[in-house]
Amino acid sequence: MDKDKAEAEFGDVMFSLINAARLYKINPDNALERTNQKFINRFNYLEAHTIKEGRSLKDMSLEEMDKIWDEAKKLGL
């Protein structure tokens, strides 16, 4: 599939999700904002944890970052 077709299909998926949200009386803007905040909180935790250890995210493996990310999730971030 070329990029133009993929983009159109992705738009269709997003449109469908927004319609599903309406059916369940969910505000899609609020839902997306909550998810963005959750991501920001977890990323800030990851970054702070890494700095505290004197490390750089650039030098960490994805597995190492995932472990810290999971810690943030367990803390309810």
As given in the structure block, the two tokens for residue 59 are 């030098």
pLDDT for 49 equals 95
Q: Are 72 and 46 in contact (CB under 8 A)?
A: yes
**Which strand (E) or helix (H) includes residue 7?**
helix 3-23
DSSP 53: T
pLDDT for 76 equals 94
Q: Are 27 and 21 in contact (CB under 8 A)?
A: yes
As given in the structure block, the two tokens for residue 45 are 């935790």
- Counted residue by residue, the chain has a size of 77
pLDDT for 55 equals 94
Reported pTM: 0.80
Tens digit of each residue's pLDDT (9 = 90 or more) over 1-56: 799 999 999 999 999 999 999 999 999 999 999 999 999 999 999 999 999 999 99
Sequence spans of domains, the chain: 3-74
